[in-house]
């Protein structure tokens, strides 16, 4: 164990985590059930349901509801037992992966949702790599066990092979598909049965005394019971036992089985997060490490969301508190602008619904409404100059020019694009020669999302057109070297929303030539969002 002093009880009960997965593995449904068990909502929405049941809490944008996918990460805070959960639901679609990558910098653990029939998919693998870079502890939930799925050992084997991590079963499924009855809870020696009649009700849990308990035969048919005994015996022999230390270091993942849509296995997973999940962790800044138990308040912005409330053009900055006890009305020092900021109306989220936060502790995620003062990567402290590290910004892979259909509204378009750039939803470049803007995104679906949001939020129809450029690189080096490079490549230069120089390229040859001719200049595909 570490030699640090124990955290204050209010901070120690916080669990801040994200849910990651491939699209359609059931992440949003699982989030809904979390809220249901936390008592935050009465009826869980489903992404694919009809009528009233369709309204999921975390997909609140019009576009999300139309397409049945999550487009932007949303935060939710609720209580479960003695714990306080801060959960961030992330978009699974690879076109929005940047939002997800940034979100992962603000959490202490991640839940990886896997579809029982499909196993480990490509996007899961990508997201997992990001967690690995940050040594994030991972809990795995294998969903959709009430449909035909693959053999349990096969799924576990695939996770171990593909992700190079030890898997320890926390529960074991009994039957699958139509015959799926429930799970045997290995960690607590309980039998958990599924109730198929009511999706929002939690089924019963039966305390048993090992697998030889005669009570088992009352609830489980003989053939499934024999298979369960055999499987668990094998699992105990072959698979590692759960070790919390190894899990916290990111070398092992416990796996639960269940069906989110039938509310099954979710409660066990939540208990697992509470019991074994990490407390708020130390955060890294360029100057020093920040401990959550420190008295002074520090925090950083990891996401900005514009126009969450369509009636007011507001922008909410999502701030992860790294240390201290924050109270409403506090004056915080904004490190980038070196100005104090009075935080008079901070909010706690339940996706699009929010309530005023009177107080918050290290580990919490709060929203600060503002008018563009706060950007991604900004630090807020009680006077100390800190810069948090590790919040990435990636070079876009697709570039298009954007024009307003009505030329009179070009000014409005400038404003809208700047807001999206602050939000991190897209990169906006202003070419050195010519008019208009070039918008860069990671995935093609983002253009649709942007066009739909500009039209809905600003009543401004726009059209995206192809451009001659294919990629963008940030230029860095000494002032003289950069100026010389900019002067020689005017036709290729642009500035991003922060005013940094960007080199627009058509072919790989452009990059190679620049590297060859200008050895003092560095071209990079990522830039750290630091003040």
Predicted confidence (pLDDT) at residue 474 exceeds the cutoff of 80? yes
Which pLDDT value is given to residue 78? 80
Predicted confidence (pLDDT) at residue 102 exceeds the cutoff of 60? yes
| pLDDT band with cut points at 50, 70 and 90 for residue 58 | very low
Which pLDDT value is given to residue 392? 60
Our measurement of the distance from residue 89's CA atom to the centroid of its chain's CA atoms, rounded to an integer in Å, reads 6
| pLDDT band with cut points at 50, 70 and 90 for residue 53 | very low
Where in the chain do CATH 3.30.70.3280 domains reside?
395-528
Q: Determine whether domain 395-528 maps to CATH 3.30.70.3280.
A: yes
Average pLDDT rounded to a whole number, residues 199-227: 70
Which pLDDT value is given to residue 91? 60
Distances (CA, A) of 516 to 137, 512, 523: 42, 6, 11
Predicted confidence (pLDDT) at residue 170 exceeds the cutoff of 50? yes
The residue ranges of DSSP E strands in 419-521, in sequence order, are: 427-431, 437-441, 462-466, 471-476, 493-495, 501-505
| pLDDT band with cut points at 50, 70 and 90 for residue 51 | very low
Q: Which segment, 22-31, 42-51, 166-175, is predicted with the most confidence on average?
A: 166-175
**Angle (CA) 304 305 307, round 5°:** 145
| pLDDT band with cut points at 50, 70 and 90 for residue 72 | very low
Percentage of the residues of the chain whose pLDDT score is greater than 90: 0
445 or 245, which is more confident: 245
Average pLDDT rounded to a whole number, residues 46-73: 42
User: For residue 219, how many other CB atoms are within 10 A of its CB?
Assistant: 15
Average pLDDT rounded to a whole number, residues 278-299: 84
Which pLDDT value is given to residue 528? 57
Query: 423 — alpha (psi -120 to 50), left (phi > 0) or beta?
Result: alpha
**Of 218, 194, 217, 221, nearest in space to 205 by CA:** 194
For the domain spanning 9-276, the CATH number is 3.40.50.300
Distances (CA, A) of 175 to 148, 185, 239, 240, 353: 10, 14, 20, 23, 39
The per-residue pLDDT for range 383-427, each reduced to its tens digit, is 788 887 766 666 677 888 888 888 788 788 888 888 777 776 678
Predicted confidence (pLDDT) at residue 92 exceeds the cutoff of 50? no
**Of 54, 41, 45, 27, nearest in space to 80 by CA:** 41
Which pLDDT value is given to residue 65? 45
Which pLDDT value is given to residue 197? 57
Which pLDDT value is given to residue 365? 85
Residue 42, judged by CB atoms within 10 A of its CB (0-12, 13-18, 19+), counts as exposed
H or E segment to which residue 523 belongs? strand 522-524
Which pLDDT value is given to residue 94? 46
| Helix, strand, coil share of the chain (percent; to 5) | 30, 30, 40
Quote the longest CA-to-CA distance of the chain: 83
Where in the chain do CATH 3.40.50.300 domains reside?
9-276, 283-381
Q: Which residues fall within 8 angstroms of residue 445, CB to CB, at 6 or more apart?
A: 93, 95, 96
| pLDDT band with cut points at 50, 70 and 90 for residue 482 | confident
Distances (CA, A) of 472 to 101, 377, 396, 438: 20, 21, 7, 10
Which pLDDT value is given to residue 522? 83
DSSP assignment of 30-93: HHHHHHHHTTS-SS---TT--GGGG--SS--SHHHHHHTS--S-EEEEEEETTEEEEEEE---S
In sequence order, the β-bridge partners of residue 182 are 174, 193
Which pLDDT value is given to residue 199? 56
The domain made up of 283-381 has a fold known as Rossmann fold (3.40.50)
Report yes or no: 264 and 185 within 8 Å, Cβ to Cβ. no
Pairing of strands 171-174, 471-476: unpaired
Question: Which region among 75-84, 89-98, 106-115, 248-257 has the lowest average model confidence (pLDDT)?
Answer: 89-98
174 or 133, which is more confident: 174
51 or 315, which is more confident: 315
Percentage of the residues of the chain whose pLDDT score is greater than 70: 79
Which pLDDT value is given to residue 2? 46
Predicted confidence (pLDDT) at residue 320 exceeds the cutoff of 60? yes
Per-position b or e across 485-500, b if 16+ CB within 10 A of its CB: bbeebeebbbebbeee
The whole-chain average pLDDT of the chain stands at 76
pTM confidence score: 0.72
Which pLDDT value is given to residue 316? 79
Per-position b or e across 411-448, b if 16+ CB within 10 A of its CB: eebeebbbbbbbbbbbbbbbbbeeebbbbbbbbebbbe
């Amino acid at each position: 164990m570490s030699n640090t002093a124990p955290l204050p009880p209010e901070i120690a009960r916080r669990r801040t985590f994200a849910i990651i997965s491939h699209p359609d593995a059931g992440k949003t449904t699982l989030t809904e059930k979390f809220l249901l068990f936390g008592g935050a909502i009465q009826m869980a929405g489903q992404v694919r349901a009809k009528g009233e049941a369709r309204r999921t809490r975390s997909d609140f944008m019009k576009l999300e509801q139309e397409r049945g996918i999550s487009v932007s990460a949303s935060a939710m805070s609720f209580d479960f037992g003695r714990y306080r959960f801060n959960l961030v639901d992330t978009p699974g679609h690879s076109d929005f992966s940047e939002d997800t990558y940034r979100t992962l910098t603000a959490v202490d653990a991640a839940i990886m949702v896997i579809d029982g029939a499909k196993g480990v998919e490509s996007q899961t693998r990508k997201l997992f790599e990001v967690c690995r870079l940050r040594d994030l502890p991972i809990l795995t939930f294998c969903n959709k066990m009430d449909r035909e799925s693959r053999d349990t050992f096969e799924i576990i084997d695939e996770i171990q092979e593909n992700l190079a991590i030890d898997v320890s079963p926390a529960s074991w499924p009994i039957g699958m598909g139509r015959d799926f009855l429930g799970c045997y809870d290995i960690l607590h020696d309980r039998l958990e049965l599924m109730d198929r009649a009511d999706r929002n009700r939690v089924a019963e849990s039966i305390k048993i005394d090992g697998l030889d308990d005669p009570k088992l035969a009352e609830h489980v048919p003989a053939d499934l019971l024999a298979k369960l005994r055999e499987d668990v015996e094998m699992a105990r022999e072959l698979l590692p036992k759960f070790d919390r230390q190894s899990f916290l270091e990111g070398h092992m993942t416990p796996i639960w089985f269940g069906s989110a849509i039938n509310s099954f296995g979710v409660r066990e997973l939540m208990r697992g997060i509470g019991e074994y999940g990490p407390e708020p962790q130390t955060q890294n800044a360029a100057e020093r490490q920040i401990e959550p138990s420190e008295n002074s308040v520090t925090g950083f912005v990891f996401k900005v969301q514009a126009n969450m409330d369509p009636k007011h053009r507001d922008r909410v900055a999502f701030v992860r508190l790294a240390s201290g006890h924050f109270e409403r009305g506090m004056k915080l020092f904004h490190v980038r602008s070196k100005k104090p900021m009075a935080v008079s109306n901070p909010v706690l989220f339940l996706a699009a619904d929010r309530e005023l936060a009177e107080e918050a502790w290290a580990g919490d995620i709060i929203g600060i409404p503002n008018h563009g003062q706060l950007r991604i990567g900004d630090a807020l402290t009680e006077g100390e100059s800190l810069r948090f590290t590790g919040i990435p910004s990636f070079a876009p892979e697709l570039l298009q020019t954007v024009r307003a259909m009505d030329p009179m509204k070009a000014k409005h378009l400038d404003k809208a694009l700047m807001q999206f750039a602050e939000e991190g939803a897209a990169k906006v470049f202003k070419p050195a020669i010519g008019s208009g803007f070039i918008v860069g995104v990671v995935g093609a679906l983002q253009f649709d999302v942007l066009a739909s949001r500009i039209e809905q939020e600003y009543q401004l129809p726009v059209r995206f057109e192809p451009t001659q450029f294919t990629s963008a690189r940030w230029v860095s080096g000494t002032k003289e070297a950069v100026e010389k490079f900019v002067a020689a490549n005017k036709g290729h230069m642009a500035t991003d929303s922060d005013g940094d120089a960007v080199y627009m390229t058509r072919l790989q040859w452009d990059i190679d030539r620049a590297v060859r001719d200008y050895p003092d200049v560095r071209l990079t595909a990522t830039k750290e969002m630091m003040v």
